Structure 1
Amino acid sequence: MAPSPQNLGLLLVYFLSFLFSLPANLLALWAFLGHVCQPHPAPIHILLLSLTLADLLLLLLFKMVGAAHNFAWPLETTLCALTGFGFYCGIYCSTWLLVGISVERYHMIAAVAIWLLSFGHCSVVIIVQYLPTNSSREANSRPVSYDNFTQEQLCVVLPVRLELCLLFCFIPMGVTIFCYWRLVRILLSQSQVVTRKHWRAVALVVATLFNFLVCFRPYNVSHVVGFFNKTSERWRVCAMVLTALNACIDPLILYFSSSAVRRAFDKRLQSGGASLSRPTLCDPIALETKIHDSLDCNTRFIAVV
């Protein structure tokens, strides 16, 4: 059956997000792996590498498969559960990793803890698929991956969604907004000194807030509304598609946060004859040394928070 007009629009957004985010995230992954594999990698590189992996974990290709079939899952049921598990883990890992980047005080143990915390909470995506229910489905109908719930399943799903909303969206968003509010205040107080680093810091703030307010907030608000209405809201699928834009915005955050990524992107653009940055003369040996200028001016500014 051909996708409905609404699902066709969602499919287009997923496709464009996949088309633009995959090359950018793979390039960032290549840049960060070289630094993380070195002895004593900088904590910021571990966080940025984790954010890149979280974006790749969104598995937007499988979301396109669902949208193309009106979200009736055409593949094996176990793959449906695993796909949902990876997709939602990618969403919730991204929120707390953005917090870690905003305060820049975490180490590798915190990045691992964020992954474990997200995996543990999102395991409900797999568990709920196999909960015993009193409702029967038509023999020839296809399951709708993590969307069409019975009443017994909703009793488990809705409270967990509310907790996910608070723990993985509203709290991280509050911490991040506070940190960047402090950063913006300091930038404004030093307006007489306008440098490229200042503009990169402002761009980093804008991109991060866009992620929280546009990509993540509508989807998480659907959890709150669904909990009080005792149902899985139908408009949730439209809010979910906005989370796909996160995979397109995160490469911008990586670009403004790390000189290693800027060099990797600029080198790639120069090889295509379309570099966006002015070429500079750099010592090739110095480029191999450990990068300590991550987040540029943020290290100095956020230290006062």
Structure 2
Amino acid sequence: MKTQWVILAVYILTLLIGFPANLLAICTFFKKLGNKPSPNDILLFNLTASDLVFLLFLPFKMYEAATGMEWHLSQTLCSIVTYFFFTTIYTSSLLHMPIAIDRYLGVVFPLKYRLTRKPLYAAAGCVIIWLVSAAHCSIVFITVHMPDLNATLPKNVCYTHFTEQQKKILLPVRFEFFVVIYLLPLLVCIFCYINCIYILYTRPRITKERKQRAIGMALCTLTIFLLCFLPYNLSHLVGFSSNDSPWWRYYTLLPSTLNTCLDPFVFYFSSSTFRESKTVSLLKKWCFTHKKTKKSDTELVIVAK
């Protein structure tokens, strides 16, 4: 099987799983926004909105894969698709950081933080994160439309080949992406979740269910950072050190797309609003009933033997 069909298959799988899951999530959080939303609800609403914007532009990347990794549309559209594609990836990466901080402060300072915890602060934080991601990813327009009289790049590709002049600007900016928009949120999340788990397990009155949710939240977030975001951001580090964009960089985007399929697990572990939604409750009930029926059938087979 050609590489392009593997890429297309991953994109299709991501769209089929990620779109309905995030659509369910955004409908759930949108309803909560009109009825005393918590800061966590606002952060998760923005996270799922980022995922949905990403998924809406994913068909263009599917088209690119289906045409043999060539781009037969306009370069302006290429810039727009690439801009939103990367902006939403980095917005998701940054949004995991305040979600972890909110969880950490709620565990370490439960009473004091409850008094100062306001939805307005979360909304302001989300606006700042969207602006930071959008400003950083504007490098896409600067790079693609940079005038270069000596450029001999092919016109049937989208944001994959760069001149030496473009690399001088692009590679240092990518390195800054790695440090500020990937490494910093990752370290903050690791610090917050490790301390959350430690504190919860040293308090005997905390329920087992809450401890399990904390572990699930930590594992999901770290999986997203290490499995989905690390390969692509690692290509920034390699490109900066070698002064060239690595040939395998495009393939590291594939794990990044799976982020939209894993984020709903973060919603489940971190939000009672999402856990208690009617659709999720029906899915849990169906899974439990199916599991119970399967177990009963197995027991009948054993008895019959």
**Shorter-chain TM-score range:** 0.7 to 0.9
Name the count of aligned residue pairs: 269
Matches within 5 A, 1:125-274: 125-137=140-152, 142-190=155-203, 195-264=208-277, 265-267=279-281, 269=283, 274=286
- More divergent stretch after superposition (147-156 vs 243-252): 147-156
- More divergent stretch after superposition (5-14 vs 116-125): 5-14
Matches within 5 A, 1:68-83: 68-83=66-81
Which of 28, 50, 56 does residue 54 from structure 1 map onto? 50
Asked whether the 8 Å contact 1:267–1:275 carries over to 2, the reply is: no
How far the C-alpha of 1:17 sits from its partner, in A, is 1.0
1:146 match: secondary structure: coil
User: Structure 2 CA distance, aligned partners of 1:268 and 1:220?
Assistant: 38
Structure 1 spans left out of the alignment, 5+ residues: 278-305
Larger helix fraction of residues:
2
Alpha-carbon displacement from aligned partner over 1:198-219 (angstroms, at most 9, x marks no partner): 2122111110000111111111
Q: Which amino acid in 1 is paired with 2:92?
A: S
Asked whether the 8 Å contact 2:151–2:163 carries over to 1, the reply is: no
**1:115 to 2:130 alignment:** yes
Which of 88, 91, 114 does residue 90 from structure 1 map onto? 88
Tell me the equivalent position of 2:299. Answer: none
- More divergent stretch after superposition (88-97 vs 68-77): 68-77
How far the C-alpha of 1:236 sits from its partner, in A, is 0.8
User: Structure 1 CA distance, aligned partners of 2:44 and 2:235?
Assistant: 28
Asked whether the 8 Å contact 1:25–1:56 carries over to 2, the reply is: yes
Q: Which amino acid in 1 is paired with 2:258?
A: L
How far the C-alpha of 1:15 sits from its partner, in A, is 1.1
How far the C-alpha of 1:47 sits from its partner, in A, is 0.4
RMSD (Å), alpha carbons = 2.1
User: Structure 1 CA distance, aligned partners of 2:288 and 2:188?
Assistant: 33
- More divergent stretch after superposition (141-150 vs 209-218): 141-150
Asked whether the 8 Å contact 2:175–2:240 carries over to 1, the reply is: yes
Asked whether the 8 Å contact 2:8–2:66 carries over to 1, the reply is: yes
Tell me the equivalent position of 2:292. Answer: none
Alpha-carbon displacement from aligned partner over 1:121-146 (angstroms, at most 9, x marks no partner): 001112211101133447xx543211
- Give the fraction of aligned pairs with identical amino acids, expressed as a percent: 37
How far the C-alpha of 1:60 sits from its partner, in A, is 2.0
Matches within 5 A, 1:39-50: 41-50=37-46
Tell me the equivalent position of 2:25. Answer: 28
Q: Which amino acid in 1 is paired with 2:7?
A: L
User: Structure 2 CA distance, aligned partners of 1:258 and 1:101?
Assistant: 11
Alpha-carbon displacement from aligned partner over 1:106-125 (angstroms, at most 9, x marks no partner): 52111100000000000111
Asked whether the 8 Å contact 1:266–1:276 carries over to 2, the reply is: no
User: Structure 2 CA distance, aligned partners of 1:254 and 1:205?
Assistant: 12
Tell me the equivalent position of 2:14. Answer: 17
Asked whether the 8 Å contact 1:102–1:176 carries over to 2, the reply is: yes
TM-score, normalised to structure 1, is 0.82
The structure with the larger Rg is 2
